[in-house]
Amino acid sequence: MRSSFLWRSLPPAAAAALAASLTVAAPLPAATADSLIAPSPVAAGQAAPGAPARAPRPVLLMTGARLAVQAGPGGRPVTVLVPPSSPAPAGRTAILTMGRPGRVSEVPVDALPFLGRGLDPGLFSVAALQRAEHRGRLPVRVSYRERVPSLPGVTITHAAAGEAEGYLTARSALRFGAALHRQYLADHDRAAYGTDGLFGHGVSVALAGAAVPAPARPRFVMRTLTLQGTSLAGRPDNGDVVLLVSADDIRRVAGSSVFRHGIARVSVPVGRYWAIGLFSTARKSAFVFARQFTVVAHGPQPRVQLAGQTATSVFRVSTPRPALMDVETFTAVLRGRTGPPGAVSLTLVGDPGHDLGLALAPADLAPETGHLQTFTQAQLVSPPGARPRYQYDLDFPGPPDRIPAQEHTVQPSSLATVNENLFQDQPSAGQWVTFGGTEPEFGAGVFSIPEAQGLPGQRVQYVTADPSVVWLSQYVAFTSSFAGGQAGGLRSYRPGEVATEDWGRYPLHPATTVSPAAGPAARIQGLQIPSAGRAGDVLTIAVGPFSDSTPGHFGQLTDDPTSKLTERYEVDQDGTRLAAGDASQGLAQVRLSPGPSAVRFTLSARRTGPHYILSPASTTAWQWRSQRDPAAAVPAPWSCLTGRRTRPFLTRRCAVQPMMTLAYQVAGLSPAGAPADRAEHRAYSAGRRPSDHQRGPGGLL
């Protein structure tokens, strides 16, 4: 079984080092009317605002996991697990996700107990890894007290005076991950993490070039709370985790600890708290929640008990068609007395059809301060041999302030059916991914697992249909390079609805943003930038060049190592060129004259390489009338960009520019992009490439 734990106990040093990430794990506030008066600054060093949402370059963790992190609903992080080129020796994936776009940490559960005890937290910062990794290598710095250590999977290139430099590759990191997993299992029952084995004799590993953080010093009086825990078998617990969350303000980093001989101690400030226990064996992973309690300034502290053996409700789902359980996720959204909500999530992933063992202790919590709500999700896939393949994406919200029982029978009337048609001229092994759920679940980010998808091909999805539940689907066309494909936007469905979506249908062409939940614009503080917006005299334009004609779909612009992508733009006003240049960053910005004028924007894009035969290039021009409009404003969640390129600002005092997008259709187009003529279709299917005049209008836009 592979299990993805989205939080786990941290020793004090590691908890302090990750405090910044934890405090921003709550969702960002929606924009208020104030942004109509005072523009919001864009954070320094952030990706170009308004740039097309390029498919992220995966990062390599030193356990061998490869992850791609991108902006999801409202800018919250979505983490996609990229399957390794070879199976992980440990047979499991375990990831803690926290942070926000540009500031996300991804920590494998096997590594969590060793943070500050052999592993530096900087090893799991996505932004730091993206800066440090080069040519598939993860550079590391190894500290030691005695002789140079021999760590599985780590190649040492230089060592002297207790410091060594080295690196891991995608293949060698799997060996280190397997060794770390064995160390984690060996240390669990003794709760002796980081004292021997890989990290004996003072061995510690950090990201090469990362700064050493200064020790954190609390600025308030701390009180020590003693908690008692029993295991899933009912014995005094060793090695499992307890997490304390402030009910006064979720943004506080409260504390966490590991049970030793049934006892865990956590130092926290005075206030109200939730206590959450996570108990695990090889076959079962369970949450237990304690009622709220108060840590007092003077006198005896409350007695808090977490009994693993009370987790008797195992997650079960019955679906209308035969389906095999693939992914189970439990999320608890916590709302304190003040501040934004936060979340705790546990995702279990395993071989389809096997019991993943997610269990809960049903409880009526009735908090005195704040609120708690739980959500359970399931992804089930069709049995082997089903054609076309199908899957269920299901969301089960629980009642407020209760942990409900977890047996669910899904009625056909509660579902929507989505028929997905995937077009592609070059057959490939790709990946399909769907994520979503009820809006509060996005509090601490979403962890999604892709499914293998042959291209061209078909897929049927059955999703929970409710106005409060949203889903987003996308795919990667070439798994080997994590390139190509299309990304969709958030959608809600009506119960009983039957929908059809065409993905990658030729010809591909530039597309503009049509939905606040999709498109090429970067999400900043929960806001959305239109494809063309004018704030005062500053015009900002961002479009995706290789998209299909389904509204809300955008071609994923990736750094495909097998291909070359070039983009050029030009902006003219009344026939005079104002700006031109490279559009590969997805952003064109120019200052216009204030009076009425004719604005023309031209985008030329080309991608060459073995992956792209149909629609390899396009040139598209838009022209419209524009002038300064001081009274114009866009509604939430939209916002426009203004200011200098070196110091941009977001504002709602702007006007969306009219950029029309055509919906191209080629009659009788086959899933492989072949024309309607049957003889040509047979030739194409046999591997003979159609001549240029037979390929249809792809690329001649």
Asked if 487 and 554 count as a contact pair (C-beta separation under 8 A), the reply is yes
Asked if 35 and 652 count as a contact pair (C-beta separation under 8 A), the reply is yes
What pTM, to 2 d.p., does this model score? 0.80
CATH class of 510-547+564-608+616-661: mainly beta
**How many degrees, rounded to 5, is the angle at CA 22 between CA 468 and CA 47?**
80
Pairwise CA distance, residues 287 & 59, whole Å? 30
Domain boundaries, the chain: 1-42+57-217, 221-311, 320-508, 510-547+564-608+616-661, 666-701
- State residue 586's pLDDT score: 65
Asked if 436 and 516 count as a contact pair (C-beta separation under 8 A), the reply is no
Q: Please give the full DSSP string across 548-580, using - where no structure is assigned.
A: -SSTT-EE-----TTSEEEEEEEEEETTEEEEE
Count the residues in the chain.
701
Pairwise CA distance, residues 338 & 296, whole Å? 19
Third-level CATH fold of 221-311: Immunoglobulin-like (2.60.40)
Asked if 616 and 699 count as a contact pair (C-beta separation under 8 A), the reply is yes
Which residue in 433, 474, 432 sits closest to 454, CA to CA?
Answer: 432
CA atoms within a 13 Å half-sphere pointing along the CA-CB vector of 21: 25
Strands in 281-427 per DSSP E:
285-295, 304-307, 313-314, 316-318, 324-335, 342-349, 358-360, 363-364, 371-381, 389-397, 402-403, 407-409, 415-422
- State residue 414's pLDDT score: 97
- State residue 227's pLDDT score: 96
Q: How many CB atoms lie within 10 A of CB 28?
A: 17
Residue pointed to by tokens 């969301």 = 395
Pairwise CA distance, residues 390 & 685, whole Å? 25
Q: How far is CA 604 from CA 545, 566, 607, 620, in A?
A: 8, 8, 11, 7
Pairwise CA distance, residues 394 & 667, whole Å? 35
| Residue ranges in the chain whose pLDDT is less than 50 | 1-55, 86-91, 100-101, 443-445, 517-526, 679-701
- State residue 10's pLDDT score: 31
Q: Please give the full DSSP string across 144-197, using - where no structure is assigned.
A: -SSSPP--TTPEEEEEETTEEEEEE-HHHHHHHHHHHHHHHHHHHTTT-TTSSG
DSSP 490: -
Q: Please give the full DSSP string across 82-122, using - where no structure is assigned.
A: EPPSS--TT----EEEEEETTEEEEEETTTGGGBTTTB-GG
Q: Is 302 exposed, middle or buried (0-12, 13-18, 19+ CB in 10 A)?
A: middle
Residue pointed to by tokens 């704040």 = 370
Query: pLDDT tens, 282-335?
Result: 778 899 999 999 999 999 999 999 999 999 999 999 999 999 998 888 888 888
Residue pointed to by tokens 């954190």 = 216
Query: pLDDT tens, 247-283?
Result: 998 877 667 788 989 999 998 999 999 999 988 877 7
